Structure 1
Amino acid sequence: MSDSGRRKPPLVADKRYGRVGARPARKPVSKKPKPRKTKMQRPRKKAAAKRNPIVAFFLSILSWVLRLIWSIVWRTSVVVGLLVGLAVSYVYLTLPDVDELLDGRARGSVTLLDRDDQVFAWRGDQFGGVVTAETVSKHLKNAVIATEDKRFYRHFGVSPRGVASAIRINLSEGRGPLSGHGGSTLTQQTAKLLCLGVGYVPEDWESESAYVQDCRRGSLGRKVKEAVYAMAMEVKYSKDEILSVYLNRAYMGGGAYGAEAAAQRYFSKPSANLSPAEGAMIAGLLTAPSSMAPTANLQRSQDRAATVLRLMNEQGYLSDKDTLFYQNNPATLSEAAEAKSGGYFADWVMSSGPEFFTRNTTEDVILKTTLDPRIQSAAEEGLRWVFENKVREGSKAQAAIVVMSADGAVRAMVGGRQTKVSGAFNRATQAKRQTGSAFKPFVYATALERGGHYDDMVLDEHYCLNVPGSGKWCPKNYTGKHYGNVSLTFALQNSLNVPAVKVSEKAGRENVRTVAGMFGIESDLAAGPALALGASESSLLEMTGAYAGILNGGSSVTPYGLIELRLLGDDAPLMGTGGGIGERVISDAAARELIWMMEKVVSEGTGARAQLPGWQVAGKTGTTQAARDAWFIGFTSDYVAGVWMGYDDNTPLTGVTGGGLPAEIWRETMVRVHEGLDPKPLPAFVPPPKSKPSPRPQRQRGKGIDDVVNGILNDIFGRN
């Protein structure tokens, strides 16, 4: 039966002293409360044993300093972050559309084409047109990223890791932290190319170079601005848009700005078609474009490209097999690139064209020219061969060559012994030198035009003239001898001075001056009788053009190198040829007679060393007083070529006359020019055969007087 209904006794403790016989009461267990673990309750002796008062003092100071620094740092960071954010926001608002940044040149480019429409030179700020990161060769794009900024697609415009690494390298190499390696990202480099948005204003700078120098400053303040600008660009533009700006603006050596210009400059192909080796070579130029340019040092450029290919391999852009292949087969220059920048010919065309379309153009201009690369190579090789084989080693003598067609179209030009140059002194166009006997054809041209003939006679004897203001003047022949009555042809082929002066005086000095000027010799011509002996100064280009006038039948010629000028992208030219054949100076008959006389100079006279196997050659030698200048100018039926030789400081040549080394340079050049051409005769007249005396009647032999008498009688009387 359940007792659940009973009332339970109260729970009370047994009395300490209860009834007899009762169980002794349990001693209650005393429960002491656990002491709270507080710092105040820790034993003082143990604390004293662990921490020295001095140490504790300094630790407390250090703790306070750290808390202070942290307090300053996080507050400063917040302030700096806000300021940077504001600065980035401000720059972001000032950034233009990306299309406006792709071409930021101060002037335009000039591309020069030869007669076959092949590029051979560039001038101005060369620019091949806008490209994008999507349109260039992937190999070029990968090479640029691998070389310049392998984290380009992962950072926000600034790479702290890159900056730290650059500072470490600079310090380890004994430089200042900001000297040398900059740790700049590709975005920062693009910002620098944009000069942080500051455009060039001529009025604000001493020169454009001063502006560029300021843009490249590497001070701490400049670096901060650069970083802000780079971050603003990252916000405003996509990565590929930033890379596109860089690929269009970066200078890549050889006068080329941008990837397209570099591809055309070095390889004569679009940037979209570059191979890994070519892309690596262009990317390798970015660190030092002038010294690394393949036109400056091809081997150094190829070595640098091999390093770029290795970097591309390490970053997964090229396989091991392809890397090895392109390292063993490096990129090489196109023929146009090997010719450097067109040399003297390109300089002359640029200086002779309209300034606003050549030297100061703001447009991209295409110039088609008369240059023939084959003939240009022939002239350079001919000059080099003679100086290597005929001129003493160490000689400082110079030479110049001009080759043109009969209409004045210049096919080749060499302005000095150093042929691969740009902007150098051009002795073919800029040097004005005395012409010596090379001027004499114009004396005889005047005489022939005024009714003379090749076989007219002139007395070669001691001869003097009284020159007003100078007194008595007596010309002498080079040989010091006189030859009596000689024909005009003999006098010219042997370059006799006395007959030339006599012919000039008879034809009239002013007439000689007029004929020479009309043939294109624009320099001031001497007024006295020494005019006939080439006392006047002229350029090689003028003299060669004047001889072209003789070859074409007696009409004046204006030498020219420009065929047409047009703007990039336009088909219609803005201007055409600036030279060619002009008005007639002497009759065709006089010109043909003069050509025949000048042919005798080469075949029988002083120009014998200029003879070409199988070809008729006409020309004239020239040597000035004390042999300071030596000339040979001559022509075949196809081409006219002029050669000058001398010293820049007018030092006399030793043992050199126009019929010597200049004639040999002419021959070596023209032998190469005429390779593969069929010989054709000169357009000279053919002298009529000399009349022979009638043959005297001869007596028949074997008949006596009786036979003669019988014959007469038979004729009279008709007897048989």
Structure 2
Amino acid sequence: MGGTGSGRGRLVADRRVARKPTKTATKPRRSRKARRPARRGAFGLLGRLTGGILRLVRRIVVTAIVVLALLVGVAVAYSYTTLPDVAQLLDGRARGSVTMHDRNDEIFAWRGDQFGGAVTADSVSPHLRNAVIATEDRRFYWHYGVSPQGIAGAIRINLSEGRGPLSGHGGSTITQQTAKLLCLGDEYEPGAWVSEAAYLDDCRQTTLNRKAREAIYAIAMETKYTKDEILSIYLNRAYFGGGAYGAEAAAQRYFSKPAATLDPGEAAMLAGLLTAPSRLAPTADLQASQARAATVLRLMHEQDYIDEATMRQHQQNPATLSEEAGQTRGGYFADWVMQSGPDFFTRDTTEDVVIQTTLDQSIQRAVEDAVNEVFAEKVAEGSDAQVAVVVMSADGAVRGMVGGRKTNASGVFNRATQAVRQTGSAFKPFVYATALELGYSPNDTVVDEPFCMTIAGSGQWCPSNYTRQHYGRVTLTEALQRSLNIPAVKISEAVGRGLVLRVARDFGIVRELSDTPALALGAAEATLLEMTGAYAGILNGGSSVTPYGIRELRLKGDDTALMGSGGGIGERVISEAAAQQLTWMMQQVVEQGTGTRARLQDRPAAGKTGTSNEQRDAWFVGFTADYVTGVWMGYDDNTPLTGVTGGGLPAEIWHEVMARVSEGQPARPLPAMAPQPSQREEAPQVAQPRPQPQAQPREQQPVRTETVLERLLYDLLGGD
């Protein structure tokens, strides 16, 4: 056998060809431990611990954010459910308004919270809408209720100006401001708050907690309402100064036009008021209001709401008050009407009330101008002397009123209605009214001589005349004309002090009157309004009057009057003949007595001067055939006047007032009756008995209605 067929080759593996590495191939990765040197010791432990803490903090922060977001979401959802329909949020006033019309039915004053009616963002002038957005919240249509950028900017400004982060600029959006105006949905409940002011103060707090709640409420509003609905609520609720709440009330208050017709200048002025409505109100400071409006116009131009030409036009010709708003007068009168009317229709009203008053704005202007002129020309600069003036018709309807040196003030002390002062000799007409009613004549005489009386418990009292002189036998007319004290005391004591007291009270001097002999010299106290009303009773023929300022009161939009006049002519006090004789006597006071400075050149006038003890009060009260006017001067702290008596500056102010009031009116004679020739040689003296009432009307008097005085005497004599 051959060897080539039976041999077995070597058992070896086939040779493999080595493959080249591809471009994507990478080197084997080393482990983290291989890449990094091992941390050893304390530094390694600290690093691991720090890393762990950071990871824990990160987890806590993320968890807190998630939890906070959930809580905010829940709070927003809850606030959402409490939000009412938009229509319920437009008028948020807790109280109503009072609008006052003068005797010619023109508006002259507003009180309370004015609300002209609901408007919407679409119904107001687009200039107003744009001005508010440009000034208050330029990102209004882009944010979701809260503007972090605005808040950060406000905090930066506050800190740079040295204030706290939440003091001053708030960075609030219009939505947040609206949330604050809504008091975050908490309505005012009288029983839950000390006062409405306390409730409002709580609503305006700027604590962190309050700001957080405000933000949540704002987001809820953004969720429920459209942007225009939120803006509508804001435009209706915002305060624009001057008692005006809402854009419509403000437009009517300042410009006497609807909010829909405001031009850019007027719109800029209203938008500018939102930062400081009371201080910037054009009725309080027109120049400041116009300066702020110029800034708003610039902002409107910068945000492309108006072009440059429009901006410059209205900056150079700023908005001004309407004639009606600019000429409003009678602040003292309006305050008095609010105090004298029923509380539930004036000070505490929750309705919108319209009051027709007795004020005559032309007379009011005359009063203010006269007072300002006399004080500017005849009162020393720096003097604190005060003045009050009241003008009324013979039936008690008040036509004009000034209660202090600041002639058109409001909300301050009203010396015409609130100052109770000693009347001095202005009281003497009531002494002579009593005598004339009992049958004495203006021509009857009394002796002016040194005189003393013994007063029980006080000793001897010896009155004297202002001039310290005596004039012997004088008529009652001369005694009143010269304002002699001794004859007044003698007549008062002769007719009976009790009757003088009754006549004075029935004419309207309602204060407690001291039953002493000094009563005849004006120891009684009264307000100027009461004294003027009492003299009106003399002018109207002897009947009492109740001064009044309200003719009619009704609810706004309702033609039915809820109440009428609260005053007018009342019961007869003295006879018409006695009143006419007294008028004639008082006419002599003006023509040739102590009141000559009040004399008018074109018409007759009657009146009486009065100067109280130690010259603390100076009065002149008098009348023409048309109007009764009272003037008082003095110091609030009872400092004696220097060189001023009733026949001086008060009579001059009276003359200036009545000359202006009467200008252009036909002159009418006074209802005066000259006396019949005297049938007595001398009027009764103190020691003589008081005259008895006559059973029949006196010859010189027409048959008339029984007077209050006669009824009193009848009762005293045992009549049934």
Q: In 2, Cα distance between the equivalents of 1:482 and 1:440?
A: 18
Classify 1:689/1:587 alpha carbon distance in 2 versus 1 (closer, same or farther; 3 Å).
Answer: closer
Q: How big is the shift at 1:643?
A: 0.5
Partner-residue secondary structure (3-state), 1:633: strand
Q: Which residue of 2 aligns with 1:307?
A: 295
Question: Is 2:581 aligned against 1:593?
Answer: yes
Partner of 1:17: none
Q: 2:260 aligns with which of 244, 268, 272?
A: 272
For residues 186-242 of structure 1, give each alpha carbon's deviation from its aligned partner in whole angstroms, at most 9, with x where no partner exists.
Answer: 011000111111122333333333322222222222222111111111121122221
Q: Do 1:341 and 1:422's aligned partners in 2 also have CA atoms closer than 8 Å?
A: no
Alignment-derived partner of residue 479 in structure 1 = 467
Q: How does 1:110-189 map to 2 (within 5 A)?
A: 110-189=98-177
* Change over 3 Å in CA distance of 1:30–1:376 after alignment to 2: same
**Equivalence for 1:404:** 392
Report Cα offsets for 1:562-583 as digits up to 9, x if no partner: 1111111211110000011112
Give identity over the alignment, percent.
67
1:577 maps to which residue?
Answer: 565
Q: Is the 8 A contact 2:465 2:486 kept in 1?
A: yes
Instruction: Flag the 1:352–1:41 CA change in 2: closer, same or farther, 3 A.
Output: closer
Which residue pairs with 1:568 in the alignment?
A: 556
- The two structures have a TM-score, normalised by structure 2, of 0.86
1:84 deviates by: 2.4
Letter in 1 for 2:571: E
1:425 equivalenced with 2:413 (yes/no) = yes
Alignment of 1:533-548 (within 5 A): 533-548=521-536
Question: 1:286-301 to 2 correspondence within 5 Å?
Answer: 286-301=274-289
Matched, 1:105 2:73: no
User: Counterparts in 2 of 1:620-639, with a 5 A limit?
Assistant: 620-639=608-627
How much does 1:60 deviate?
9.8
Shift in CA distance, 178/501, structure 1 to aligned 2, threshold 3 Å = closer
**CA-atom RMSD, angstroms?**
3.0
Whether the aligned pair in 2 keeps the contact of 1:119 and 1:268 (CA below 8 Å) is no
Letter in 1 for 2:179: A
Which of 512, 515, 520 is the matching residue for 2:508? 520
Q: 1:74 to 1:48 in 2, by over 3 A?
A: closer
1:92 counterpart SS class: helix
- Measure the CA separation in 1 of the matches of 2:159 and 2:462: 80
Taking the TM superposition and a 5 Å limit, the aligned residue runs for 1:331-480 are: 331-335=319-323, 337-338=325-326, 342-480=330-468
Shift, 1:35, TM fit: 7.1
State the alpha-carbon separation in 1 of the partners of residues 380 and 167 from structure 2.
50
Partner SS, residue 574 of structure 1: coil
Matches within 5 A, 1:252-271: 252-271=240-259
Is there any run of 5+ residues in structure 1 with no aligned partner, and where?
1-27, 691-720
Tell me, what secondary structure is at the counterpart of 2:671?
coil
SS in 2 for 1:156: coil
Q: For 1:672 and 1:183, how far apart are their aligned partners in 2? A: 54
Q: 1:372 to 1:335 in 2, by over 3 A?
A: farther
Q: Separation in 2 of the partners of 1:643 and 1:379? A: 10
1:605 equivalent to 2:605? Answer: no
For 2:200 and 2:586, locate their aligned partners in 1 and report how far apart those are by CA, in whole Å. 58
Tell me how far 1:267 sits from its aligned partner: 2.6
Q: 1:542 to 1:389 in 2, by over 3 A?
A: same
Q: How many residues align?
A: 663
In the aligned structure 1, how far is the partner of 2:223 from the partner of 2:577?
Answer: 80
- Give the equivalent residue in structure 2 for 1:706: none
Q: Map Cα deviations across residues 289-309 of structure 1 (whole Å, 9 max, x no partner).
A: 222222332211110011111
User: Within the alignment, does 1:213 sit opposite 2:221 as a pair?
Assistant: no
Query: Partners of 2:176 and 2:122 in 1: how far apart?
Result: 21
Alignment-derived partner of residue 81 in structure 1: 69
The 1-side partners of 2:185 and 2:436 are apart by 70
Q: Deviations over 1:354-379 (max 9, x none)?
A: 11111111111111111111111211
Partner SS for 1:287: coil
Counterpart CA distance in 1 for 2:95 and 2:653 is 40
Question: Does the 8 Å contact 2:441/2:676 carry over to 1?
Answer: no
Per-residue CA distance 1:161-183 (angstroms, 9 max, x = gap): 32233233334444444333222
The alpha-carbon deviation at position 400 of structure 1 amounts to: 0.7
The answer as to whether partners of 1:464 and 1:475 remain within 8 angstroms in 2 is yes
Q: Report the CA distance between 1:587 and its aligned residue.
A: 1.6
Aligned to 1:192: 180
The amino acid across from 1:315 in the alignment is Q
Distance 1:303 1:32, change over 3 A: same
Separation of aligned partners in 2, 1:361 and 1:653: 42
Q: 2:702 corresponds to which residue?
A: none
- CA separation of 1:171/1:629 partners in 2, compared to 1, >3 Å: closer, same or farther? closer
**Contact 2:489–2:517 under 8 Å retained in 1:** yes
Q: Which runs of 5+ in 2 are unaligned?
A: 1-15, 679-720
Read off the aligned partner of 1:625 and give its amino acid letter. N
CA 264–502 in structure 1, closer or farther in 2 if over 3 Å, else same: same
Q: Secondary structure at the match of 1:667?
A: helix
Assess if the C-alpha contact under 8 Å between 2:329 and 2:365 holds in 1.
Answer: no
Task: Give the Cα–Cα distance (whole angstroms) in 2 for the partners of residues 206 and 300 of structure 1.
Answer: 35
Q: Deviations over 1:591-629 (max 9, x none)?
A: 111111111111111100001121111100011121111
| 8 Å contact kept, 2:330–2:401 | no
How much has 1:78 moved relative to structure 2?
Answer: 3.9
User: In the aligned structure 1, how far is the partner of 2:264 from the partner of 2:441?
Assistant: 70
Q: Which amino acid aligns with 2:539?
A: L
Question: TM-score, normalising length from structure 1?
Answer: 0.86
Alpha-carbon offset, residue 461 of structure 1: 1.9
2:495 alignment partner AA: A
Deviates more, 1:250-259 or 1:633-642: 250-259
Matched with 1:224 is 212
Mapped partners of 1:107, 1:377: distance in 2: 31
Separation in 1, partners of 2:292, 2:408:
24
Q: Could you say what secondary structure the match of 1:395 adopts?
A: coil
Shift of 1:97: 1.4
**Separation (CA, whole Å) in 2 of partners of 1:39 and 1:241:** 68
CA shift for structure 1 position 689 = 9.8
Hey, what's the Cα distance between the residues in 1 that align with 2:380 and 2:162? 50
Check if 1:559 corresponds to 2:559: no
Per the TM alignment, residue 423 of structure 1 is displaced from its structure 2 partner at its CA by 2.1
Q: Distance in 2 between matches of 1:85 and 1:480?
A: 90
Contact kept in structure 2, 1:340 and 1:421, CA below 8 Å: no
Conservation of the 8 A alpha-carbon contact between 1:438 and 1:631: yes
> Where do residues 633-652 of structure 1 align in structure 2 (5 Å cutoff)?
633-652=621-640
Q: Which amino acid aligns with 2:652?
A: E
Per the TM alignment, residue 33 of structure 1 is displaced from its structure 2 partner at its CA by 2.5
Inter-CA distance 309–486: structure 2 relative to 1 (3 Å threshold): same
Please tell me whether the aligned partners of residues 443 and 675 of structure 2 are also in contact (alpha carbons under 8 angstroms).
no
Q: C-alpha displacement at 1:72, in angstroms?
A: 5.3
Offset at residue 331 of structure 1 (A): 1.7
Match for residue 653 of structure 2? 665
Equivalent position amino acid for 1:680 in 2: R
Partner-residue secondary structure (3-state), 2:544: strand
Which deviates the most, 77-86 or 386-395? 77-86
